[in-house]
Amino acid sequence: MRIDIRQDDLSSTEVQSLIAEHLLGMHRNSPPGHVHALAIESLRAQGVTFWTAWEDGALCGCGALKELDPRCGEIKSMRTQAPFLRRGVGQAVLDEIVRAARRRGYSRLLLETGTGEAFEPAHALYRRNGFVSCGCFGEYSATDFNVFMAKALA
């Protein structure tokens, strides 16, 4: 499977539907008030870069990188469409995000994600890629419903 990763402007209805699916999934698997996923307008904000993953013309997934400061970025909006799960889409998107973070000179990547069974595959992906648990950061609050992870970049 060849996955093509593209920087995207979120203008297509197909990509907008994927973001809507992502937000719905986050709300379905997290208690009210504990979803920190970005809506489309926030993904278009300055300091946020958004990528989509494609295979043979089919949208497979997405992910974003939000600059927190000149040395640190946050991973946002990682999502793989159901028909493409366990086929390397998340890894391909994460690889592109890490490459972009290194090009920008970031020394660290951070992320916040949910807890529970629905989030375990994401936790495993991040751990396989050198992310470790860390404390909360930015404007987040630590709760029983979120996990914070960090990866040092050389």
pLDDT at 39 over 80: yes
- Distance of alpha carbon 114 from alpha carbon 151, whole angstroms: 18
- Distance of alpha carbon 63 from alpha carbon 11, whole angstroms: 15
Percentage with pLDDT > 70 across the chain? 99
Q: Is 57 in contact with 29 (CB distance < 8 Å)?
A: no
How many other C-beta atoms are found inside a 10 Å radius of the C-beta of residue 53?
A: 27
Pairing relationship of beta strands 146-152 and 132-133 according to DSSP bridges: antiparallel
Residue 82, domain CATH:
3.40.630.30
Please, which residues have CB within 8 angstroms of residue 70's CB and are 6 or more apart in sequence? 105
Residue 69, Cα to own-chain centre: how many angstroms? 18
Range of the domain at 38: 4-152
Q: How many domains does the chain have?
A: 1
Mean pLDDT of 24-41: 82
Note the pLDDT of residue 1. Answer: 65
Instruction: Quote the mean pLDDT of the chain.
Output: 94
pLDDT at 48 over 80: yes
Note the pLDDT of residue 134. Answer: 97
Write the pLDDT tens digit of every residue in 51-95.
999 999 999 999 999 999 999 999 999 999 999 999 999 999 999
- Distance of alpha carbon 128 from alpha carbon 12, whole angstroms: 32
